A and B are shown apart, each in its own frame.
Chain A
């Protein structure tokens, strides 16, 4: 059992550390926020308390000192400053090691502790873990002992059980137990919640004060233990001896379960929540643990797989029902369609994770980097609550780290340079996450020096990535930084600038079926925009047919469907543009692309799709309709086929390939460029 507990504890520590780090980083910008200070204190306190429970004594001792500092802050004896936060973050970093029982050969922990100690002005830091306060074992006399006790005040109302106390005392060897009824008031003045009588008894000499203290641990009672003097023994005998079994019902009569309700409670009126509690409730509204359940990620994946299969089976059933034209079957199939849809949506929602879980890491990164580089930077985050599929979130961490590093390392100027350029000393790096249709946009924006297209171009030419005469738009030039082996940093730092970053970023984003885009204004900063699909597992797809084969276009990419004008039905070398309500849209013919034999029937359609900012038409033979598409990865053998992003099973059991719209758009651009070149040739 203890092993299970330890596992739960480790998980708990992970969560608490995340919250702790967030709290510490927030304190940097809001050092006076008592809500934050309290949160930090509580996180520490819980790690310490639970750690001690599960035998992590070293951890508890370490945190105790850490916590002491925040207790001082909480009580207003210490102000939050950069030193404190730096030490606190360093201390926080030691906690995982302590949980894992790692040694600390470099003595970092000691250094941190002495640093924290220094903050306390050298005041002696309280001793390590608060042990169970051991009861002092006072020596008692040799002879028999006399114990008298009386329950105080509201002990009975608080749930004290004198019968249990007497049982325990009997266990210690108490004899001659007698009730002292001297103070019992007349019936009309009897307060049923108060205990008006006491007890006296004689205990054997072997009983220690500590043992008696132990008995009264949970009973608010005045008690005294004395050596029995010869004459007092007689007094005891004088008092009406109450047989013990009778004492118990008496106690029960006044015990909590008795149906005695008196309006006394009203005297205390209602408890006003303290202002502090209110602000805490506000800052923590989001972190309510109330109704959450932790589920291992693999189980969610397994569920998603099953739901995927269900969706396919459901499509098959619907198809079958339509083919058989059996009304009862059709009705059932429709019902199952609805249920499967609900189940799918619920499962997808379960997999959604807020960006928040990543942001903590980024804040720390920015803080550390800005220290290291000597570039003061404000890091602003908007849309932390934006949710993405957990797989996307997991894979997004590394690319975003690269982008943020670049922003600080390359984008941001040194403070002096900023001032000289008429900007504020402190730079601004922003991370914005927001929903845009079925996509999530994540922008990393800096107000640094921006990128110089001319410089990038020169560099690309020097690296042999482009030819000197290549004509390129600004966007194309910026896109060069995603090419493998391209690095713009004049000096390679240990942070970035090895030119291995951005191409990896693009590959990862591509793999997530997302796009990446750069905008930059010289002297004003750079914005990197990532567009990511909300989910990876199931999409709404548009089923199309080309030369008898079925394909799927992801619906989020589909903008509209138009008919291919008859005059464009035949492929031409130069004129593959379509006039869609005044805008020219280039188009691709899938028949041509896939080298299909034969001629299409009349009435081809053009599906206008969008990827990033670009729009492209895709000519298909026939539109079949929309369906739920469960994306299945293709085998490794097909990894090189860029025009396809996966495959899916259709209702009738056949396979349809899913087209990669982003890639198709790219191809059409090249084709457009080629067409333009041809046109220029023709004109010349």
Chain B
């Protein structure tokens, strides 16, 4: 059964790019437009991994991760945070919030696939 990856990003172009890359590689992809939407979708179905943006309206990446980690079904899902910032402080904050890892934009499609492989196998 294909693995399902949830991509949470307010930028449609990034979302599409992630979705198309992963779909071509055989993953199922669920898209969400912000943290709030991401939370709803992550709780609505089994998700194997999450790639989320940090800067988003309504609920940002960290808020989304914190909220998701409150739910039993959101506890062990690997989450990778995407951002243009590579500062250690933010990285640490993301870790503390419950993110597994961090990926800095811009990234290539190969890089994205490598990361997802690393995270869900």
Contacts and interface: CB of A to CB of B under 8 A. Distances in A.
Contacts of B105: 49, 52-53, 130
A637 interface: no
Contacts of A257: 76
Q: Which of A54, A154, A280 has the most CB of B within 10 A?
A: A154
B77 A130 contact: no
A42 B106 contact: no
B86 A49 contact: no
B119 interface: yes
Given A158-B78, A218-B101, A49 B11 contact: yes
Contacts of A220: 95, 100
A123 interface: no
A9 B11 CA distance: 8
Nearest to A64: B84
B87 to A, nearest CB: 9
Interface string B78-107: 111001111000000001001111001111
Contact of A132 (B13, B58, B107): B107
B34 to A, nearest CB: 8
B58 A12 contact: no
Interface string A38-72: 01011001101110111000001000000000000
Contact of B66 (A49, A271, A290): A271
B13 A50 contact: yes
Nearest to B121: A164
Contacts of A45: 55, 84
A256 interface: yes
A277 interface: yes
A101 interface: no
Given A256-B78, A271-B63, A277-B63, A9 B13 contact: yes
B84 A289 contact: no
A256 B13 contact: no
Interface residues of B, number: 52
B78 A8 contact: no
A157 B33 CA distance: 26
B78 A160 contact: yes
B106 A158 contact: no
Contacts of B79: 158-159
Q: Which of B17, B98, B115, B117 has the most CB of A within 10 A?
A: B17
B10 A270 contact: no
Q: Which of B11, B67, B83, B99 has the most CB of A within 10 A?
A: B11
Interface string B32-70: 011001000000000001000101111110010011011
A5 B16 contact: yes
A160 B120 CA distance: 9
Given A132-B104, A288-B58, A12 B85 contact: no
A130 B104 contact: yes
Contacts of B80: 218
Nearest to B105: A49
Contact of B77 (A132, A154, A159): A159
Nearest to A276: B60
A522 interface: no
B86 A256 contact: no
A11 B12 CA distance: 9
Contacts of A273: 63
B84 A265 contact: no
A50 B11 contact: yes
B75 A265 contact: yes
Interface string A286-327: 011110000000000000000000000000000000000000
A682 interface: no
A158 B34 CA distance: 21
A159 B13 CA distance: 27
A217 interface: yes
Nearest to A10: B13
A255 interface: yes
A268 interface: yes
B76 A157 contact: yes
A430 B37 CA distance: 37
Given A157-B76, A218-B78, A53 B106 contact: yes
A280 B76 contact: no
Nearest to B83: A49
B13 A218 contact: no
A261 interface: yes
B42 to A, nearest CB: 12
Contacts of B85: 130
A49 B84 contact: yes
Contact of A46 (B55, B63, B120): B55
A150 B95 CA distance: 17
A240 interface: no
A284 interface: yes
Contacts of B2: none
A8 B14 CA distance: 9
B12 A158 contact: no
A284 B58 contact: yes
B104 A133 contact: yes
Contact of A217 (B71, B75, B78, B118): B118
A45 to B, nearest CB: 5
Nearest to B15: A8
Contacts of A133: 86, 104
A168 interface: yes
A1 interface: yes
B22 interface: no
Given A5-B17, A287-B57, A290-B37, A158 B76 contact: yes
Contacts of A271: 63, 66-67, 70
B20 interface: yes
B110 to A, nearest CB: 12
A489 to B, nearest CB: 45
Contacts of A4: 16
A287 B56 CA distance: 12
B14 A53 contact: yes
A274 B58 CA distance: 11
Contacts of A506: none
Contacts of B58: 277, 280-281, 284, 288
Interface of A: 1, 4-5, 8-9, 11-12, 39, 41-42, 45-46, 48-50, 52-54, 60, 129-133, 154-161, 163-164, 168, 217-220, 255-258, 261, 265, 268, 270-271, 273-274, 277, 280-281, 284, 287-290
25 contacts: A5-B17, A8-B12, A9-B13, A11-B12, A42-B10, A45-B55, A45-B84, A50-B13, A53-B13, A53-B14, A60-B106, A130-B85, A130-B105, A133-B86, A154-B98, A158-B99, A158-B100, A160-B100, A161-B120, A217-B101, A217-B118, A268-B70, A280-B58, A281-B58, A290-B33
Interface of B: 10-14, 16-17, 20, 33-34, 37, 49, 53, 55-60, 63, 66-67, 69-72, 75-80, 83-86, 95, 98-101, 104-107, 111, 115, 117-121
Given A130-B84, A158-B99, A159-B78, 14 more contacts: A5-B16, A41-B55, A42-B10, A49-B84, A50-B14, A132-B111, A133-B86, A158-B98, A220-B95, A261-B72, A265-B72, A271-B66, A289-B34, A290-B34
